[in-house]
Amino acid sequence: MQESWKFSIPNQLLSKDLREVLQKILEENEKEMGIFLSYYFKKEGAVTEKVQLHTLPDFKEKLKGNFWVSFDLVYYNACLNIHEQNRDKMELSFEFGADLTSLQLTGPYWPEREMDEI
């Protein structure tokens, strides 16, 4: 499994430095980032909240690179009376569109377990 999420870049950010654009997009879309990262933990019954930039973006090419985010990983189950919260982090890749009007984030590849043989 590998998840990706695409964001539109508002016109007022188009003239800014790409590092600053990335930081602003993450700050303004914190809830969407939580949804995006929660896909990785849904089988464990957890959701992510309070997503923040953990490291500055590292550009590998002009419009591509990676960075780390940190977030709260929350496990909640009312039936079992569980409410645990841990801080975790994950590395994400990014790619700006050629026209600089979009930003695509891609999470890590986590292989899914195949069926067991009998």
3-state SS of the chain?
CCCEEEEECCHHHCCCCHHHHHHHHHHHCHHHHHHHHHHHHHHHCEEEEEEEECCCCEECCCCEEEEEEEEEEEEEECCCCEEEEEEEEEEEEEEECCCCCEEEEECCCCCCCCCCCC
Q: What is the residue-level pLDDT of the chain in tens, covering all 118 positions?
A: 788 889 998 887 777 788 998 999 999 999 999 999 999 888 888 889 999 999 999 999 999 999 999 999 998 765 666 667 788 999 999 999 988 889 999 999 877 766 767 6
CB atoms within 10 A of CB 4: 12
Query: If you compute the radius of gyration of the chain from its CA atoms, what whole number of angstroms results?
Result: 16
Give me the pLDDT at residue 81, please.
62
Task: Name the residue ranges covered by the structural domains of the chain.
Answer: 4-105
Nearest alpha carbon to residue 31 among 54, 65, 7 = 7
The pTM is what? 0.81
Give me the pLDDT at residue 33, please.
93
